[in-house]
Amino acid sequence: MTNITAEVDLDAEGRQAGYLRVPHSTHDSAYGWIGVPIVCLANGPGPTVLMTGGTHGDEYEGQIAVTRLARELDPSDIRGRLILIPALNAPAAEAGRRCSPIDDGNLNRSFPGNPSGTPTEMIAHYVEEVLLPRSDVLIDLHSGGSSLLYPPTVLHALDMLPDYRPDPAQGTREVQARGSVYAYDPGIFEPFKQIADPVAAGDPLGQIHDPLRPWAEPIEVLSPLAGFLLAKRVPGRVSRGDAVAQIASDI
Ligand SMILES: [Zn+2]
């Protein structure tokens, strides 16, 4: 049983838009709620796909992609049901932060959630108990390579987009992450490679400078993995244990 109420009927046909109301009683708002925006498109029989962005509020690409689909797709474009939630952890998305500023909740680490817990735990529980049982497929978009799994391509694979044709030249590229490469030294990471650059095992991916010891040699970060650069760290300081790159390969 959830304490979240939906302004939309998840089982209705056609287009619906509104908020999932996450109850949040505070000093400023005794009977207040946090709004998680939701758009449902339904057109007859077919699979139900739940697509979410903003599980981590600082990951913008998925939020943009799901927002665009919510605005641009009509029910007549699909077969089945598409549930679009572009800012699943809405407080985190509004703050542009990985975790919610309300409860410091990392939604991706909050499952299966708690119907009477913090707002982040309540959202996780709603996904687990209300949305997932209705869904055949969940596409939760995170950054760092999510753009290669372009949502309409995935929907095409499920036969939900009768009018979509893949790019005949590029086709559909499917990749899998091999693993992350970590910094062992603190400093400023200078990347050597761009996203999608090929990487051989042993290749230097970048180097770590220490501006507080400018006489020290920079420390190279070597890739133990082969493939291509799926993600790299935003330029700036790194600490020991920070992932500076993620390597992937074609399936
Ligand atoms: Zn994420």
pLDDT in tens, 65-86: 999 999 999 999 999 999 999 9
Instruction: Give me ligand 1 centre to Cα 239, in Å.
Output: 19
E-only strand ranges, 13-77: 14-23, 33-43, 48-52
Instruction: Give me ligand 1 centre to Cα 54, in Å.
Output: 8
Residues lining ion ligand 1 (Cβ < 5 A) are 56, 59, 142
Instruction: Give me ligand 1 centre to Cα 157, in Å.
Output: 24
Maximum average pLDDT range among 17-21, 61-65, 192-196:
17-21
Determine the pLDDT at residue 121: 98
Report the top-level CATH class of 5-157.
alpha beta
State the pTM of this model.
Answer: 0.73
Burial group, residue 138, by CB count within 10 angstroms (0-12, 13-18, 19+) = middle
Question: Percentage of residues in the chain with pLDDT exceeding 90?
Answer: 71
Provide DSSP, 115-183: TTS-HHHHHHHHIIIIIGGG-SEEEE--SSSGGGS-HHHHHHHTT--TT----TTT----EEEEEEEE-
Determine the pLDDT at residue 170: 65
Residues 6+ apart with CB under 8 A from 185: 208, 210, 219, 240
Instruction: Give me ligand 1 centre to Cα 62, in Å.
Output: 9
Instruction: Give me ligand 1 centre to Cα 215, in Å.
Output: 37
Confidence of residue 152 (pLDDT cuts 50, 70, 90): very low
Q: Which range, of 82-96, 97-111, 146-160, 191-205, averages the lowest pLDDT?
A: 146-160
Distance (Å, whole) CA 19 – CA 239: 39
Instruction: Give me ligand 1 centre to Cα 224, in Å.
Output: 23
- Residue 177 sits at the vertex; the CA angle it makes with 176 and 183, to the nearest 5 degrees, is 170
Q: Which range, of 146-150, 170-174, 226-230, averages the lowest pLDDT?
A: 146-150
Q: Residue 58 corresponds to which amino acid?
A: D
Tell me if domain 5-157 and domain 175-250 are identical in fold: no
Distance (Å, whole) CA 6 – CA 111: 20
Instruction: Give me ligand 1 centre to Cα 61, in Å.
Output: 10
142-155 average pLDDT score: 43
Q: Which of 204, 211, 206, 205 is nearest to 187 (CA)?
A: 211
Residues 6+ apart with CB under 8 A from 246: 144, 145, 177, 178, 179, 180, 181, 229, 230, 231, 232
Determine the pLDDT at residue 160: 65
Domain locations in the chain?
5-157, 175-250
Report the top-level CATH class of 175-250.
mainly beta
Determine the pLDDT at residue 62: 87
